[in-house]
Structure 1
């Protein structure tokens, strides 16, 4: 972790569990201006890790017979997804990103389409205190050119899918997705420091969250104060590394959904992530195979300024949750692709130690370990 900090990361903190042993640590600063140190118990915006919570909530409703995985979403939300699309896209396709519905983020943040122009960051500031309605974000995704045919062999990662799942939860439970997930997933798992933010500020000890946007914001800007309605049940949760390890441990042990539901969640398909890489994605869960080390389940996630990764080995005995407070540190080359940065190597070394102990870094780099993409 000190190596990650020396490579240019302001602050990094983590919890690793191995059987009955737990290690927590932190390196660097939570505030680059004051030098306030980062701590391992700090709260963090965990981005798309939220999707595992939302997927678990959907599966609970499947278990109760209120939702059918292979039913058309138009049966439940005919006004939001009308016509042929509503008849062809199933709940399962939303969960595993094979719906063909594109992500709304380029349209909610239109300046991002100007990358690598310095003006690409304008929308980040414009939307800091904007209160989005789920329906308007969903409409952006549904009116954009399709990302593929529903049910295709390869999915395309899209936050629009999980906003629709949030609306589905509200439809069948009579309460908001955030309220249902809090009562039936967060509280069931016994998480004490996890929740959806009530406003743009994070309650409790937390770091500032620095966004570089591939070097276009220089120096990186703090976005720890931000209205998270732009991602809602797709990526707005706040948690701690301790709570994330506890959550995935409970989930993989069949304590949040039953074993049949867990088996459905672990049926993966290839999905093209937002950075162009292909990941193995199930129903809200990502599968990561590391040669000589094992198969891990979990998620990674980013929001503006914060990156979080949480992985648990299939047997539940080895867990790692890592939080960082600078994101998109790689500058873009002439082709618009991220250039290599020392932080990348330092994180690979951290993952090696945290997940695998003595597995070499090259094996780690050759694996499917995610690299903090939203």
Structure 2
């Protein structure tokens, strides 16, 4: 792991730590205030924006998506899939990534994939409607509302189109004005270009040992994930956002209660997790429950978790992804980094 940085808060106390380098060529160190691509943490922001529109009466949480976007999810599926099912990944819609990135066609069997497409599409301006069409036209991965759901970025690109439809502006602009600015976040943005402005780390992708040495993908057009995973933020901003969200200041307490209603969902790593509306819990037996989200992009990852009472928070960022190599059966092998991160999370959350 080239570099890792974290911020932990308890009440008025703040701890920030950083280790390693932000650039393996120059040796520039990571610091805890760097801006970072935080991947699917974006989903909490998008879900909060949709719930604001539910509160205002512009969207009905259990209405069929076909009511709003009949051209994107037509026919019986448009009638059967609700807005809630998109937010909690129980729509049954497939992931579009293997179609946008042909070398990933073997997913979820990572041994049958290759990293070539990552370079091919570094500067590709994807059209979200085309990405959605790939996901909608792919074989369904479940029945609408059925559990366990299957995690799919297609759901959140559709939510971005839904926001645009009902607000009359882009999802990025609405989320900026009504979630990012409402939370007073000074260093967070949904980018329009491939660059990260301001101090940041390089982002190193290993793709399960198939890219050796790992390659820097910090410069990347994020139109491949937009409202699903494109957010740039800082650890301080993430802790501020989740603290306000859990305090009922981004959405109403009633909407927050909806966000914390979970269903079983199969993650992209193939694990069954409990997932709410853009939030999921982390808990240890007999210990307090934390709520938040994790995320990855090519080369970067982050996790942000806030205790249910809002009094303790953790945000962690790393600048290497898919460090596990594969065993003879094509499954990712355990790695010391996994155990080190789990220990860090446990200490950060529980002391």
- For the superposition of Structure 1 and Structure 2, which TM-score range results when normalised by the shorter chain? over 0.9
1:75 is matched with 67
Q: Give the corresponding residue for 1:5.
A: none
Kindly indicate whether residue 30 of structure 2 is the aligned counterpart of residue 38 of structure 1.
yes
Given that residues 203 and 216 in structure 2 are in contact (C-alpha distance below 8 angstroms), is that contact kept between their aligned partners in structure 1? yes
CA deviation after TM superposition for structure 1 residue 154, in Å: 1.2
Contact 2:206–2:212 (CA under 8 A) maintained in structure 1: yes
- Which position in structure 1 is the counterpart of 2:21? 29
* Count of residues paired in the alignment: 348
The residue that corresponds to 2:300 in the other structure is 306
Q: 1:89 aligns with which of 81, 86, 95?
A: 81
- State the distance in 1 between where 2:52 and 2:23 align: 40
Contact 1:304–1:327 under 8 Å retained in 2 = yes
Query: What is the match of residue 116 of structure 1?
Result: 111
* TM-score normalized with structure 1 length: 0.92
- 1:280/1:288 contact within 8 Å kept: no
Give yes or no for contact 1:197–1:228 (8 Å, CA) kept in 2: yes
Which residue in 1 is equivalent to 2:144? 150
Pick aligned residue for 1:320 from 314, 326, 344: 314
Q: Any idea what the Cα deviations from partners look like across 1:233-281, whole Å, max 9, x if unmatched?
A: 0000000000000000000001000001001011000000011001110
**Per-residue deviation, 1:288:** 1.4
Contact 2:5 2:32 (8 Å CA) reproduced: yes
**2 CA distance for matches of 1:113 and 1:92?**
28
- The TM-score with structure 2 as length reference comes to 0.98
Residue matched to 1:183: 177
Q: Deviations over 1:89-127 (max 9, x none)?
A: 00000000000001101111110135436x711100001
Q: Distance in 1 between matches of 2:283 and 2:336?
A: 24
Counterparts of 1:122-271 in structure 2, within 5 Å, are 122-271=116-265
Shift of 1:336: 1.5
Q: CA deviation at 1:293?
A: 2.6
Deviation at 1:189, TM superposition (A): 0.3
Give the Cα separation in 2 of the matches to 1:70 and 1:122: 40
* Distance apart, 1:153 and its partner CA: 2.2
By how many angstroms is 1:292 displaced? Answer: 3.3
2:48 is equivalent to residue 56 of structure 1: yes
The answer to whether the 8 A contact 2:111-2:331 is kept is: no
Equivalents in 2 of 1:225, 1:243: separation in Å?
22
Deviation at residue 289 of structure 1 after TM alignment: 1.4
Give the superposition deviation at 1:294.
Answer: 1.1
Alpha-carbon distance in structure 2 between the residues aligned to 1:162 and 1:320: 25
Q: How many angstroms apart in 2 are the aligned matches of 1:153 and 1:127?
A: 33
- Following superposition, the deviation at residue 295 of structure 1 comes to 0.5
Contact 2:259–2:279 (CA under 8 A) maintained in structure 1: yes
1:345 is matched with which residue? Answer: 339
Residue 284 (structure 2) aligns with: 290
Q: Which runs of 4+ in 1 moved over 2 A?
A: 113-117
- In the alignment, structure 1 segments of 5+ residues that lack a partner are 1-8, 358-374
Q: 5+ residue gaps in structure 2?
A: none
